[in-house]
A = this chain, B = another copy of it.
Amino acid sequence: MSTPLEKARKDPESMKARILDVARRIFGEYGFHGTTTRMIAQEVGIDISTLHYHWGGKKDLYESVVIDINKDLRQKLVEVEQEIHGLPLGERLDISIDMTTDYLFEHPEVSNLILFRYFGKTRSDGNLDAIIPEFTADIARSMGLARDKKNVQPETMMKVLAVMNSIHNFISGENFFRPMVKVDRERYIALVKETLKFILIPAFTQNEAI
């Protein structure tokens, strides 16, 4: 049993995969309503109907993109987790912020789409909400805030959300924030890491018990 999405990821040169890639970028930039299937098709260099042939309706494509994005992010977080395993909390945070930030700056559409789902509203709501945000629990465990994946306290989830959001914000808001602070991209990325560490590390290490 392999879903269409999985099949598309197997061969990155297939039309299905190419469409998915472009769709990630465009949906990430303009959101669901701001994107037209024509924009995607034109960017890929194909006809709209070809897009429909491969992915069905606009909504189906969007959902595939969201699932794809979350899969990627989750995998990245697993990778980070392995890197920092066993280190003291302050260091764990330091490395996590570096790795996650670097990854997201290379794939800003990930942050864009996640924030779009959080804050936006689709006029016709499909509920794929439940599928997504499970890895909050993973992060909580990785940060030493929760023992197991089940029964994560509300207070803990809120903290994890705050952490993840503040990272996504700076990635996704680059086009808006960078002109504000008037720095080039490299400097901006450095500033983001610095700021995140300034904000986040003291909170979690002040009463360190680990």
Chain A interface (Cβ within 8 Å of chain B)?
Answer: 29-34, 112, 115-123, 129, 133, 136, 154-155, 157-159, 161-163, 165-166, 169-170, 172-173, 175-177, 179-183, 187, 191-192, 194-196, 198-203, 206
In the complex, the answer to whether A177 meets B195 with C-beta atoms within 8 Å is: no
Known contacts: A121-B34, A181-B157. The answer to whether A202 contacts B206 by CB under 8 A is: yes
Residues of chain B lying within 8 A (CB to CB) of residue A196: 162
Sorted nearest first, the 9 A-B pairs with minimum C-beta distance are A33-B33, A202-B202, A33-B34, A158-B195, A154-B181, A118-B173, A165-B169, A119-B172, A199-B203
In the complex, the answer to whether B120 meets A30 with C-beta atoms within 8 Å is: yes
Residues of chain B lying within 8 A (CB to CB) of residue A166: 162, 165-166, 169
Shortest distance from the beta carbon of A110 to any chain B beta carbon, whole Å: 12
Shortest distance from the beta carbon of A126 to any chain B beta carbon, whole Å: 14
Residues of chain B lying within 8 A (CB to CB) of residue A33: 30-31, 33-34
Q: Which residue of B lies closest to A173 (CB)?
A: B118
- Name the contact of A31 in the complex, choosing from B118, B120, B129, B192 (C-beta under 8 A): B120
Residues of chain B lying within 8 A (CB to CB) of residue A30: 33, 120-121, 123
- Report the Cα distance A122→B175, complex, angstroms: 13
- Report the Cα distance A30→B121, complex, angstroms: 5
Residues of chain B lying within 8 A (CB to CB) of residue A194: 155, 158
- Report the Cα distance A64→B201, complex, angstroms: 40
In the complex, the answer to whether A154 meets B115 with C-beta atoms within 8 Å is: no
In the complex, the answer to whether B155 meets A195 with C-beta atoms within 8 Å is: yes
Shortest distance from the beta carbon of A72 to any chain B beta carbon, whole Å: 19
In the complex, the answer to whether A191 meets B154 with C-beta atoms within 8 Å is: yes
- Report the Cα distance A202→B202, complex, angstroms: 6
In the complex, the answer to whether B169 meets A118 with C-beta atoms within 8 Å is: yes
Q: Which residue of B lies closest to A192 (CB)?
A: B158
